[in-house]
């Protein structure tokens, strides 16, 4: 039995689904029909309105409240780190996340950077506290190269370019903005691209992130007139589409005095360049 205190008024089935992220809406309705839900101690069978403070008791089978962990594909591993190929549609952290899957194998593993939910590709996990500290410092110093492949709209006028701009995150809007001029509160960013191949009006490019900000590639490329194919937030993609972006290669460099300096020059790369 799951006990839930309602935080926001709404229809009971929707509130149940919001409180139990793995519960499907149709399953919530099924539980109501079976009288497996109590509101303030009283069994209900209809999708009634509930208000903040109401107490729900949900008698759901475990099969409705769980889902399989993401498929775990470890691409590289040594005593300090493991690098995992994150599937599209999976969060790095959270409930039933990539971290949950990795910690089934390495209980103390911690993700040291992030990818968007709908971006596929390489994520680094530290297997111990020393590695975590050294990896975070390397990211701060921008000595770990992060290479991406993206399919963008429109032909590029230049084969290669290092693009500098300014980045701002609007927390309320849930998106970021790019401008060429500095403004108060805006952060400088650098995105480097190289054209790989043209496909009619679309172009495949390799991108190196010299700074790693939320949605940097998606927003910066859109600002340059080359939104990622399928990007519904910054481009022309439909709401349920996902951007054509793959984090495909990492190159490691640490300070000479770092315990991880033995990894200097190590490259981890995906052989299959696929956005699916």
Taking residues 231-247, what's their average pLDDT?
84
Percent helix / strand / coil, the chain, rounded to 5: 20, 35, 50
pLDDT given at position 68: 80
Mean of the pLDDT values across residues 240-268?
Answer: 94
Question: Which two tokens mark 61?
Answer: 């089978």
Opening angle at CA 50, ends 47 and 52, nearest 5 = 155
Q: Can you give the pLDDT at residue 236?
A: 83
User: Mind listing the pLDDT tens digit for each residue in 1-41?
Assistant: 889 899 999 999 999 988 887 888 999 999 999 999 999 99
pLDDT the model gives residue 178:
98
pLDDT single digits (tens) 104-126: 999 999 999 999 998 999 999 99
Q: Output the pLDDT for position 165.
A: 98
134-164 pLDDT, tens digit each:
999 999 999 999 999 999 999 999 999 999 9
- Most distant CA atoms of the chain, gap in Å: 68
Q: State mean pLDDT over 48-74.
A: 89
> Closest Cα partner for 268 from 87, 253, 119?
253
Give residue 63's pLDDT: 80
| Residue 239, pLDDT above cutoff 70 | no
Give per-residue pLDDT as tens, 168-207.
999 988 899 999 999 999 999 999 999 999 999 999 999 9
The residue whose two tokens read 């033995």 is: 262
So what's the pLDDT on residue 95? 78
Q: Which domains can be identified in the chain, with CATH numbers?
A: 2-65 (3.10.290.10), 68-141 (3.30.2350.10), 145-251 (3.30.2350.10)
Distance, CA of 27 to CA of 30 (rounded, Å):
5
Predicted local distance difference test score (pLDDT) of residue 74: 97
């Amino acid at each position: 039995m799951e006990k839930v205190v309602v935080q926001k008024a709404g229809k009971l089935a929707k509130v149940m689904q919001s409180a139990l992220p793995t519960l499907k809406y149709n399953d919530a309705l099924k539980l109501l029909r079976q009288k497996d839900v109590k509101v303030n101690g009283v069994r209900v069978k209809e999708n009634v309105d509930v208000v903040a403070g109401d107490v729900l008791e949900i008698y759901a089978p475990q099969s409705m409240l769980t889902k399989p962990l993401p498929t775990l594909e470890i691409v590289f591993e040594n005593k300090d780190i493991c690098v995992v190929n994150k599937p599209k549609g999976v969060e790095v952290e959270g409930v039933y996340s990539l971290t949950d899957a990795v910690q089934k194998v390495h209980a103390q593993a911690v993700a040291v950077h992030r990818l968007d939910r709908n971006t596929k590709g390489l994520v680094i996990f530290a297997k111990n506290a020393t590695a975590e500290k050294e990896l975070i410092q390397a990211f701060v110093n921008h000595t770990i190269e992060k290479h991406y492949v993206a399919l963008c709209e429109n032909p590029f006028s230049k084969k290669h370019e290092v693009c500098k701009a300014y980045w701002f995150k609007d927390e309320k809007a849930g998106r970021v903005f790019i401008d060429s001029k500095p403004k108060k509160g805006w952060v400088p960013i650098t995105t480097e691209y190289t054209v790989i191949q043209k496909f009619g009006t679309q172009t495949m490019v390799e991108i190196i992130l010299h700074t790693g900000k939320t949605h940097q590639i998606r927003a910066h490329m859109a600002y340059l007139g080359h939104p990622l194919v399928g990007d519904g937030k910054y481009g022309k993609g439909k709401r349920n589409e996902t951007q054509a972006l793959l984090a495909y290669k990492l190159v490691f460099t640490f300070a000479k005095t770092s315990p991880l300096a033995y990894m200097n020059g190590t490259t981890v790369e995906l052989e299959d360049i696929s956005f699916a």
